[in-house]
Amino acid sequence: MKAYKNYMDRIRLDEEQHDKLLEAVRAAEAEKNKNAVPKLAKTRRFPLKTFGLIASAAAVIILVIGVFPGRQTKQADSISTTLRNGTEAMAPNAHEEAEMVPAVPETAPSVITENDSLTSAFASADIERPAEAVYTLTGVIDFRSVSYDGKISQTGTAVPQATAQTSRADRKTAVLTEILKLLKTMIPQMQEAGEESGVNGSEDVCRFLIEGKEYLYRSAEGILRAEGREYVLSSSERAEMGKLLNEYFADR
């Protein structure tokens, strides 16, 4: 096999290929450094796992209550559908899901006014209205924000109206962007609320949002499905959303 070795020895990248490769790798490294999750000095008061467990338990309870016919109200149905759609592992069969999926909204989403309490906003959220569904989604923060006092200030959450003509990709981008915008607006308000109550929970929340991306992915999928669009984010879309998320929080 000497001839084989001699031949293989001559296989090398030429200078141009080497330069191109190096350039691409440097760019990837720069991108990685740019998107690195910022280190927060403050340590978490509670491990994320705990909140994950609480959130999962809540989702299961709502799901179980939601599947008994006659016991579900319209609101509970809406919320459980959002949660169900956002939890792949718990997805019902296609027939059931088709029945539960609401139609594409015809009316423009309402704007949520300032200082609504989280609880009432959550209860009144109607997933047929994307803006409110986004708002409902952010209810997950309630599981995490230890210092959050139940008040939330939120304006201008109008999500672009979905139409039959809107492409899936456009809709996805609109929803993701809207979620991120909304979360970014909420952070300072949560910080303020935390300071008022004497506990600064914003770092915890920020870390949760960065580390708990899976939650957001599922919620985004839930919103898209709630609009009658069967949707599962692909890994590249998740990566894209993760990147967006990091970008949003990097400049904080």
Partner 1 sequence: MKTAEEIVNKYENLLYRAALTITQNREDALDMVQETFIKWITSRPEFQSDEHEKAWLLRVVMNLSRNLVSSAAHRLSCELLDIYPAETKEEESIMEEVLRLPEDYREIIYLYYYEGYNTEEIARILNLNVSTVRTKLSRGRGRLKGMLEEHGEARDESL
- 37 touches partner 1 (CB under 8 A): no
User: Which of the ranges 8-16, 104-112, 188-196, 214-222 carries the binding residues for partner 1, by CB under 8 A?
Assistant: 8-16
Cβ-proximal residues to 16 (8 Å cutoff; 6+ apart), any chain: none
Quick check: 57 binds partner 1 (CB under 8 A)? no
Q: How far is the CB of 21 from partner 1 (least distance, A)?
A: 6
CB of 44 to partner 1, least distance (A): 23
The amino acid present at 119, given as its one-letter code, is T
From CA 55, how far away is CA 62, in angstroms rounded? Answer: 11
Q: Which is nearer to partner 1, 20 or 252 (CB)?
A: 20
Q: Which of 15, 22, 66, 91 binds partner 1 (CB under 8 A)?
A: 22
Mutual angle of helices 168-196 and 213-226, in 10-degree steps:
130
Shortest reach from residue 19's CB to partner 1, in Å: 10
Which amino acid is residue 24, in one-letter code? A
**What would the x/- binding string for partner 1 be over residues 197 to 216, using CB under 8 A?**
--------------------
Which C-beta is closer to partner 1: that of 32 or that of 71?
A: 32
Tell whether residue 2 is a contact of partner 1 (CB under 8 A).
Answer: yes
Q: How far is the CB of 13 from partner 1 (least distance, A)?
A: 5
In angstroms, rounded to a whole number, what is the distance separating the alpha carbons of residues 159 and 135? 11
Q: Which of 250, 105, 117, 241 is nearest to 180 (CA)?
A: 241
Residue 6 in the binding site for partner 1 (CB under 8 A): yes
Is residue 8 involved in binding partner 1 (CB under 8 A)?
A: yes
16 vs 251 by CB, closer to partner 1: 16
- Residues lying near partner 1 in the complex (CB under 8 A) are found at 1-8, 10-13, 17-18, 20-22, 24-26, 28-29, 32
